[in-house]
C-alpha cells in the first residue's frame, strides 16, 4: 500500500526529530565533555540514505549538513558534502550492499574516514598545523564517531520501522 502525503509528512517529522535529538546529544550533551567531539551528523546522513534510499538520503543529508553548519561551526560546504554522503549511502545500499545495519556500518566508516582525511588534508595543505597535531585531534574524533554509529542507526531505524519505509525495493 503506497504511503499517503500525510504518512510521508509524519515520517519526515519523525526523522527530523531524530536528527534534532542526535544534534542535541552531539553538541549540547557531548560537546561540553572533555572528549573529542564525535561527528554524528555525517552518520545520521548515511543512516537516512541506508534506510530510505538515495533521494531521501540526499535531502536528509542536507538537513544534517545545515545543522552541522549552524551548530558545529562548519562552513556551508558541509551541507553539500552530507547530502552527497546520504545519496551515496542510498545508492550503495541499493545496488552493492544490503540495506541493513552492516550496510550502514560500512558506509558510515567509509564516510567518516573520508571526512577525517578531507579535514586533515585541507589543514595540511593550508599549513594550519603539523600532521602530528592534526592526527591528535582527528584520531580521537574518529574513534568517538565510530562508537556512535549504531545508536544513530537505531534512532533512524526506529523511524523507518514505526512510520513505514518511503523507498520500496
CB contact at 8 A, 146 and 109: yes
pLDDT at 165: 63
- Residue 133: CATH number of its domain: 1.10.1760
Enumerate residue ranges in the chain where pLDDT < 50: 168-169
pLDDT at 88: 97
169 part of a folded domain: no
pLDDT at 8: 87
Helix/strand number for the chain, H first, E second: 7, 0
11 part of a folded domain: yes
* Planar angle of CA 76, 67, 64, nearest 5 degrees: 90
Looking at the 3D structure of the chain, how many domains does it have?
Answer: 1
DSSP element (H, E) containing 92: helix 77-95
pLDDT at 168: 47
168 part of a folded domain: no
Q: Determine the structural domain holding residue 34 and report its residue range.
A: 5-163
Amino acid at each position: 500500500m503506497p504511503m499517503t502525503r500525510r504518512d510521508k509528512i509524519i515520517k519526515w517529522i519523525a526523522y527530523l526529530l531524530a536528527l534534532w535529538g542526535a544534534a542535541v546529544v552531539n553538541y549540547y550533551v557531548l560537546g561540553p565533555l572533555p572528549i573529542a567531539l564525535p561527528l554524528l551528523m555525517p552518520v545520521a546522513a548515511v543512516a537516512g540514505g541506508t534506510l530510505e534510499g538515495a533521494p531521501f538520503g540526499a535531502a536528509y543529508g542536507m538537513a544534517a549538513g545545515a545543522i552541522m553548519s549552524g551548530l558545529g561551526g562548519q562552513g556551508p560546504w558541509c551541507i553539500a558534502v552530507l547530502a552527497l554522503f546520504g545519496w551515496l549511502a542510498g545508492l550503495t545500499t541499493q545496488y552493492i550492499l544490503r540495506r541493513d545495519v552492516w550496510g550502514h556500518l560500512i558506509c558510515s566508516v567509509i564516510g567518516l574516514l573520508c571526512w577525517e582525511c578531507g579535514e586533515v588534508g585541507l589543514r595540511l595543505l593550508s599549513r594550519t598545523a603539523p600532521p602530528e597535531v592534526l592526527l591528535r585531534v582527528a584520531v580521537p574524533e574518529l574513534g568517538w564517531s565510530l562508537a556512535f554509529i549504531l545508536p544513530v542507526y537505531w534512532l533512524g531505524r526506529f523511524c523507518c520501522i514505526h512510520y513505514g519505509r518511503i523507498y520500496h525495493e
